């Protein structure tokens, strides 16, 4: 029994150092792997910043040329709807995306997708701005009924 105890005591420090090095390397590899994803998702083309920029440049008559250029650079389409669901204007709207919506349609797509395009909405004084990102670029959690206990 003494030989086992002396073996453990001799190697306990090296085992602890090995575990700490392994945890450190794991954290470094995780950080490097996801740094690119995090920095790209939160730069100027993120849904939040694009919605703000587009909403500030939008009127019911038109969208500024600078905003149109930024949308096209990021392969984002846009549609601006009035209170009745009719289109004021659109930018690069795909053929399969309709130009008129009912209130039920808006309720469904506001948390998810239009024709498999992830969409993000922004309410303005004049209507509803909808930005559509390329298919398979974002995933949206369309369910909003997770219990707090499940999330914890």
Residues 59 and 32 in one domain: no
Among residues 132, 118, 130, the alpha carbon closest in space to that of 75 is found at 132
Residues 104 and 80 in one domain: yes
Residues 24 and 82 in one domain: no
- What pLDDT, on the 0 to 100 scale, is given for residue 138? 86
Among residues 109, 70, 111, 107, the alpha carbon closest in space to that of 91 is found at 70
Residue pair 36/7 in contact by the 8 Å Cβ criterion: no
Residues 24 and 90 in one domain: no
Residue pair 131/119 in contact by the 8 Å Cβ criterion: yes
Question: Looking at the domain assignment, is residue 138 inside a domain?
Answer: no
- What pLDDT, on the 0 to 100 scale, is given for residue 10? 75
Residue 125 φ then ψ, to 5°:
-65, -30
How many domains does the chain fold into? 2
Residue pair 56/111 in contact by the 8 Å Cβ criterion: no
In the predicted structure, residue 91 carries a pLDDT above the cut 70: yes
Q: What average pLDDT is seen over the chain?
A: 87
Question: Looking at the domain assignment, is residue 30 inside a domain?
Answer: yes
pLDDT band at 144 (very low <50, low <70, confident <90, very high): low
Distance CA 147, CA 137 (A): 27
Q: What is the domain extent for residue 8? A: 1-41
Residues 126 and 99 in one domain: yes
Residues 124 and 104 in one domain: yes
Question: Looking at the domain assignment, is residue 139 inside a domain?
Answer: no
Question: Looking at the domain assignment, is residue 62 inside a domain?
Answer: yes
Question: Looking at the domain assignment, is residue 143 inside a domain?
Answer: no
Higher pLDDT, residue 12 or 134: 134
Residues 26 and 58 in one domain: no
Residues 37 and 55 in one domain: no
Residues 80 and 108 in one domain: yes
Helix boundaries (H) for the chain: 2-41, 47-57, 65-73, 103-109, 148-151
């Amino acid at each position: 029994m003494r030989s086992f105890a002396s073996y453990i005591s001799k190697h306990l420090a090296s085992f602890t150092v090995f575990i700490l090095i392994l945890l450190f390397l794991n954290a470094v590899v995780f950080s490097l792997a996801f740094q690119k994803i995090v920095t790209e998702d939160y730069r100027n083309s993120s849904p939040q910043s694009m919605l703000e920029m587009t909403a500030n440049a939008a009127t019911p008559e038109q969208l500024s040329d600078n905003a149109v250029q930024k949308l096209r650079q990021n392969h984002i389409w846009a549609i601006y709807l009035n209170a009745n669901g009719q289109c004021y204007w659109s930018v690069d709207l795909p053929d399969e995306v309709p130009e008129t919506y009912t209130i039920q349609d808006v309720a469904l797509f506001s948390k998810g997708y239009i024709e498999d395009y992830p969409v993000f909405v922004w309410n303005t004084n004049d209507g509803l701005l909808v930005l559509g990102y390329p298919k398979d670029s974002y995933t949206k959690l369309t369910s909003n009924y997770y219990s707090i206990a499940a999330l914890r």
